[in-house]
């Protein structure tokens, strides 16, 4: 007998075929429909090309970049301080692909209707392959409107930020072919409450916008510290002010920007997040002195949008894996995707995923149309609503998707553990859940026209009595100002559900909108898989299934 045959103890069967090397755009029917619906159709060839990359080589790179976390090198072997973070080549591959395909730059270099939607679609594909690199990509993209408030500084930096070349070299900006930008606001004593910042800025010469200052203080969280510069906040005598702080001084020497250590994080492993100190770090004032928060909010609004894109993407990838698994895995002689209770779970997950995508893409459209006042007001509100709701839904949804895969969903190779670890950060950073809900109240009560923009969008229920009744309840809830902060989560949730229901109804797929409204605005349990009777779960599962052609 051959010795190797002795080792063959069993035949492997009832395992699921791998879902490797697929085009993440082509297999995703809802993504195609929502991209087209909100004006991204002209970019389909580019999105499609990125879908192939994301489902192929970038997916593989994503595993490597997370298995090999970035390493902080404070000093070189001779004892010189160097403050470097070393990343695995797979991380650089991810950054390079995204930048070459214009993910941080597209809407700024070639603005046209649908540009934000098309970029969001590409970012959605990228985040499915690997979400950690999304942090510097997002911050780079989001820095542009804030930097434009200071045209003299923008003139030097924007050509590098908008370049299609990823240049990770640690060099002064003048010598680089491309640049990435970070954001450092949070200090030990306050992240939400940035007004509690203690970092101080001292003018080097003449004070004022565009002028040089030296910053002394710290930041408790500074992600992607290998970025070329950071938008940051510090106090001058006139109040909290925004600055651009580069890693190098114009004379080519290192700036006084010191990385203390890297955070040991729950997830988001491919991305480095650090604690830093400014020991007289040179920086340039961006925007009006004393108006640091409104200036940096220009950036934060877009990073919040990308939290919606990112969480929607994590949910979609989890759904893709779960649906694929259940289409092949048999239990009791029948594939799981045909068993009624699993159909209820998968269909419910599919609804969550599609509703998240719909709201995200609608915000993309509003950003594309932000020159229209109504759309600008709508974007103001929906950024907070969507950041809260979609990011809040993601961890539980991904957990459920992993459970559909049984033990396999708890094992790293399946990607589900990484998706699950990644999800909570989107609800924490860029303003945590409560902060978003309070921002919803602020927008509705303090900014004229926002409430009207919301109810204009919602209309009268688009012919659906359940949505109409929900909207009427919502109007009554907003008229009642008693204990409004205490009720802010409930109100925000109700706005999110109304908007999602309306978008799905308008899109015209009655199977999807009926199921969503019946479960989210009507009866339905508190966990996934509790859709009421009468929902066409077979159609919903088929729609969510990777379309492998």
Q: Which residues bind ligand FAD (CB under 6 A)?
A: 182-186, 190-193, 221-223, 265, 268, 273, 425, 428-435, 438
Nearest residue (CB) to ligand FAD, 25 versus 305: 305
Instruction: Give me 481's structure tokens.
Output: 């100002």
Contact 173, 228 (CB under 8 A): yes
Strands 334-335 and 330-331: antiparallel
Q: Output the smallest distance, CB 125 to ligand FAD, in A.
A: 22
Smallest separation, CB 29 to ligand FAD (Å)? 33
Rounded-to-integer distance, Cα 214 and Cα 204, Å: 7
CA 210 – CA 89 distance, rounded (Å): 36
Both ends of the chain: CA-CA distance in Å? 44
Q: How far is the CB of 179 from ligand FAD (least distance, A)?
A: 16
CA 319 to chain centre: 17
Q: Hey, what's the torsion of the CAs at 103, 105, 107, 109, to 10 degrees? A: -140
> In the complex, what is the shortest distance from the CB of residue 142 to ligand FAD, in angstroms, rounded to a whole number?
12
SS3 of 87, please? coil
Helix axes 537-544, 29-37, angle to 10 degrees: 80
Closest CB to ligand FAD among residues 268, 317: 268
C-beta closer to ligand FAD: residue 156 or 435: 435
In the bound state with ligand FAD, the residue whose beta carbon lies nearer, of 429 and 528, is 429
Give the tokens for residue 408: 């396999």
Task: Report the nearest approach of ligand FAD to the CB of residue 82 (Å).
Answer: 21
Supply the minimum distance, in Å, between the C-beta of residue 412 and ligand FAD: 20
> Whose Cβ is closer to ligand FAD: residue 272's or residue 322's?
272
Strand runs (DSSP E) across 224-352, as ranges?
229-236, 239-246, 257-262, 273-286, 330-331, 334-335
Task: Report the residue closest to ligand FAD, judged by CB.
Answer: 191
CB of 62 to ligand FAD, least distance (A): 18
Q: Which is nearer to ligand FAD, 223 or 337 (CB)?
A: 223
Nearest to ligand FAD of 190, 406 (CB atom): 190
Smallest gap, in angstroms, from Cβ of residue 261 to ligand FAD?
14
Mention every residue, 6+ apart, whose C-beta is less than 8 A from residue 386. Answer: 305, 308, 359, 360, 363, 496
- How far is Cα 392 from Cα 311, in angstroms, rounded to an integer? 9
- Based on CB atoms, which residue is closest to ligand FAD, 192 or 456? 192
């Amino acid at each position: 007998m051959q010795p190797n045959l002795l080792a063959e103890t069993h035949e492997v069967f009832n395992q699921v075929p791998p879902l490797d090397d697929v085009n993440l755009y082509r297999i995703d029917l809802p993504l195609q429909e929502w991209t087209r619906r909100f004006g991204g159709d002209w970019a389909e060839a580019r999105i499609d090309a990125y879908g192939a990359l994301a489902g192929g080589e970038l997916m593989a790179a994503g595993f490597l970049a997370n298995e090999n976390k970035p390493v902080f090198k404070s000093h070189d072997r001779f004892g010189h301080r160097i403050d470097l973070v070393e990343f695995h080549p797979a991380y650089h591959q991810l950054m390079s692909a995204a930048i070459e395909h214009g993910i941080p730059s597209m809407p700024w270099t070639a603005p046209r209707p649908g540009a934000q939607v098309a970029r969001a679609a590409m970012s959605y594909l990228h985040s499915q392959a690997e979400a950690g690199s999304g942090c510097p990509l997002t911050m780079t993209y989001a820095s542009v409107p804030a930097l434009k408030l200071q045209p003299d500084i923008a003139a030097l930096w924007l050509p590098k930020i908008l370049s299609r070349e990823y240049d990770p070299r640690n060099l002064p900006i003048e010598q680089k072919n491309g640049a990435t930008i970070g954001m450092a606001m949070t200090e030990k004593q306050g992240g939400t409450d940035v007004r509690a910042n203690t970092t101080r800025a001292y003018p080097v010469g003449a004070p004022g916008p565009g002028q040089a200052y030296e910053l002394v203080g710290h930041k408790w969280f500074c992600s992607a510290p290998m970025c070329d510069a950071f938008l940051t906040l510090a106090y001058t005598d006139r109040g909290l002010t925004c600055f651009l702080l580069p890693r190098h001084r114009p004379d080519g020497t290192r700036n006084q920007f010191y990385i203390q250590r890297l955070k040991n994080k729950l997830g988001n492993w491919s991305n480095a997040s650090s604690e830093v100190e400014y020991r007289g770090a040179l920086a340039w004032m961006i925007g009006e002195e004393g108006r640091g928060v409104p200036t940096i909010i220009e950036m934060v609004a877009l990073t919040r949008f990308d939290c919606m894109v990112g969480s929607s993407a994590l949910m979609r990838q989890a759904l893709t894996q779960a649906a694929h698994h259940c289409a092949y895995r048999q239990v009791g002689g029948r594939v799981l995707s045909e068993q009624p209770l699993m159909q209820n779970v998968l269909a419910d997950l599919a609804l969550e995923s599609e509703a998240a995508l719909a709201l995200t893409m609608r915000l993309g459209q509003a950003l594309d149309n932000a020159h229209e006042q109504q759309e600008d007001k709508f974007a103001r509100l929906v950024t907070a609503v969507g950041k809260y709701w979609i990011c809040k839904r993601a961890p539980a949804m991904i957990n459920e998707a992993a459970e559909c895969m049984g033990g396999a969903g708890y094992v790293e190779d399946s990607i589900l553990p990484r998706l699950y670890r990644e999800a909570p950060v989107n609800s924490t950073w860029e303003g945590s859940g409560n902060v978003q809900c309070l921002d919803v109240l602020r927008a509705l009560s303090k900014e004229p026209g926002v409430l009207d923009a919301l109810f204009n969008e919602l209309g009268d229920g688009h012919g659906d009595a359940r949505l109409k009744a929900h909207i009427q309840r919502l109007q009554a809830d907003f008229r009642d100002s008693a204990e409004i902060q205490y009720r802010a989560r409930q109100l925000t949730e109700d706005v999110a559900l109304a908007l999602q229901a309306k978008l799905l109804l308008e899109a015209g797929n009655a199977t999807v909108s009926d199921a969503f409204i019946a479960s989210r605005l009507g009866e339905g349990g508190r966990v996934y898989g509790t859709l009421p009777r009468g929902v066409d779960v077979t159609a919903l599962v088929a729609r969510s299934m990777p379309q492998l052609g």
